Structure 1
């Protein structure tokens, strides 16, 4: 049984301290314990071929959804109301308890490991820069004004993978500090600075992770509150400050159980998850599709000729029917830039998907292009295209392709309106600063 040292020497809690503890004890347990049935349904019935690091990321990414499946502060309302009612009932039934130091200690242990888990989940997908990967060819050939604020922020982070990895190491460092009681306050302060910046960035750039960021911040605030008055007295008032004298005592095999649980956490979420994330980064980063595209076709193509219903449509800066350029990615994505309006897909919540058509990072936040996932029928020379934007879910094209030479592709078939199209694509010789800088090395003058 766990008991404190020198219980009789510790002063009793004030009534308001006990009332606040009862509320936060119930509230945070409802927030951190996985009580949401949808969590288990998703965990136990994943997509076929789902990566192992995806399982662990989803566990680390958990937050309760009581009222809506979307990320919303409304989901915090249910645990807050339950905690309010529960704390009132608890107060009425427990009138003579002098303190809750033992429960408070264990609540802090649970919150320390929950916060560490959230930091580890995002830390490794930054260390191995998958969360914000390098821009695709389509991104590099999209007008700046056609990108959302969040997409610009993400691409800006993606072009400096070393910095992204550094941010991941900051999260892992904070998580490691949380695993030890003596350094938990230091980590909580670090989390407030780091994750607070993440929260503000999501608000400023219209990201989708502001709710989860504040969820982690709320846990860090509760952990920091444990030493906040002592820190203010020591550093603010420059007065002598007594440390926390409460210490748990582990009897019998409790010490072995504690060590086994801590070792399991470190083994599973630091070593196994870290290795699995590295393997995913090397073999199948989750943001972009994994299926290889048309062989030796990657690049940007100018539309040399465009026919609609066998009528040549000349280039026009305002024509909504003619294609302006086409990008073939290394993977099986074809993107078309035209003046046909594209309804913005604002998917910006971190989700690991298996199917190529569900990997939406390349089109999320980009309005200047239509993105198509395609399947190649090499025997008949046909591309089967499907618009990846959920606002155009029924848009499918079947285009025959011929390749007169290595730098030209001819497409013909019918567009989304059933009209016949004939498109001659000529590959452009275009250099990109990112690629040239990588080839020539940093600190050298670029020759384009």
Structure 2
């Protein structure tokens, strides 16, 4: 018997149930439309179908704007979702009528798993590396802002930014899940990592109203679909404590030269994603390690003297009196400054500190202010002129008032550190 006459593997001779074949057809069409156009930049080819759906279900005469705003929950994204569902339903019906006699779709099933594995892997690794710079430390201006002025998304961003360790661990788990998805032998293991990770991401996006709910839901759904064939085996081992049979790993491509080509492409994609992620992470690490200005912080005005007279904080007749000054260092190493004045007015601008004893403030809509400054630890004295009058300001760095500025893990705590 020659190799050509050898019997086909048992998985290829298996006869699938009708419901299983219908589910496979629908999954191939739906996930193909969800992932392939985006990764291969052919999304615009589907615009006529989107326009049809937008007119039929939303009553729109033209397609909603597809401008990249950073949101993944735009109207055009929901139009695309409905279009994909309708195409999956219609395509499944047509496919089922034209191909009723095929015993199984083993090759299509393996191709679907490859699509989901690589789409998830590339996205997870990209998102995992972005965790290292997506959530910068909370700025001093944000700390001084009333909590009630934050949006739910802003609360989540501050929560992540206040704990770099948690953010880094979240990113590592996403990268680990992506790496495990690259190999068929570790696809089941990856499910134990990716499903809970993506469930956490989806719930955070949903509950804090982050506009990537559709994207994270599809990634979670893809992870669940990848896990379904192994659910029974996992339950046997983890729940019933009994032996199970190994799952047959059927190569999606029969021809060796095609498998080699796909393997080369896989490692090129992996290397490119890894390099881009590492470059971004190292760039962000250098920014975090850059020397920070000694002026950066929240400063409470303790004394404000003008023309030799003290102006009290409760004197609303003198709205020019400073109440709070905030200096934040930007990524370009410049200083951003905001000053709260008595009466509620806020001055926003930039600060330059060319020498230790001189400081220049540039507020929007106002002439530049030159100050002689004396910084001594957590004490700052400024001397200059405001509205033509000599002014002396004494400020104290706020430390105890803002515990987040010195956040750290305490292994021993006699009492909870509540507000």
> What's the TM-score, normalizing by structure 1?
0.66
Q: Against the structure 1 CA distance between its residues 397 and 11, is the aligned structure 2 distance closer, same or farther, given a 3 Å change threshold? A: same
Shift of 1:421: 12
Shift of 1:188: 2.1
Instruction: Kindly indicate whether the alpha-carbon contact (under 8 Å) linking 1:189 and 1:220 is maintained by their aligned counterparts in 2.
Output: no
Alpha-carbon offset, residue 178 of structure 1 = 0.7
Measure how far apart 1:215 and its partner are.
2.1
Q: Give the Å deviation of 1:202.
A: 2.9
Instruction: Give the CA RMSD over aligned residues.
Output: 4.4
Aligned partner of 1:408 among 374, 379, 382: 382
Out of 249, 263, 280, which is 1:259 matched to? 263
Alignment CA distance shift 1:109-1:377 (3 Å): same
Aligned to 1:224: 227
Length, aligned pairs only: 361
Displacement of 1:105: 0.4
In structure 1, what is the equivalent of residue 125 of structure 2? Answer: 120
Partner of 2:326: 327
1:41-440 pair list within 5 angstroms: 70-72=71-73, 74=78, 75-126=80-131, 129-232=132-235, 235-236=238-239, 241-245=244-248, 247-248=250-251, 250-270=254-274, 272-284=275-287, 297-302=295-300, 315-316=313-314, 324-331=323-330, 332-337=335-340, 372=348, 374=350, 385=363, 396-406=364-374, 407-408=381-382, 426-431=394-399, 433=403
Whether contact under 8 Å (1:306, 1:421) holds in the other structure is no
Q: State whether residues 325 and 340 of structure 2, in contact with CA within 8 Å, keep that contact through their aligned partners in structure 1.
A: yes
Partner of 2:325: helix, strand, or coil?
A: strand
CA contact (8 A) 2:323 2:340 kept: yes
SS in 1 for 2:279: helix
What stretches of structure 2 of length at least 5 have no aligned partner?
Answer: 1-5, 45-62, 375-380, 415-419
Contact kept, 8 Å, 1:13 with 1:98, in 2: the verdict is yes
User: 1:235: Cα distance to partner?
Assistant: 4.8
- 1:202 and 1:339 mapped to 2: Cα distance? 38
SS at match of 1:130: helix
Q: Hey, what does 2:56 align to over in structure 1?
A: none
2:377 alignment partner in structure 1:
none
Greater share of helix residues, 1 or 2?
A: 2
- Report the CA distance between 1:159 and its aligned residue: 3.0
- Contact 1:299/1:427 (<8 A) preserved: no
User: Residues 123 and 172 of structure 1 are in contact (CA less than 8 Å); yes or no, is this contact kept in structure 2?
Assistant: yes
| Deviation of 1:198 (Å) | 2.1
Shift, 1:436, TM fit? 5.6
Q: Deviations over 1:225-244 (max 9, x none)?
A: 12224434555566665443
Distance verdict in 2 for CA 1:151–1:283, change over 3 Å: same
In structure 1, the residue matched to 2:49 is none
Aligned match of 1:364? none
**Contact 1:401–1:409 (8 Å) recurs in 2:** no
Q: Provide the rounded CA distance (Å) in 2 between the counterparts of 1:76 and 1:181.
A: 29
Q: For residue 207 of structure 1, report the CA deviation from its aligned partner.
A: 3.2
Whether the 8 Å contact between 2:299 and 2:398 is mirrored in structure 1 is: no
- 1-structure distance, mates of 2:42, 2:365: 36
Alpha-carbon shift at residue 302 of structure 1 (Å) = 4.1
Q: Computing the radius of gyration over CA atoms, which structure comes out larger, 1 or 2?
A: 2
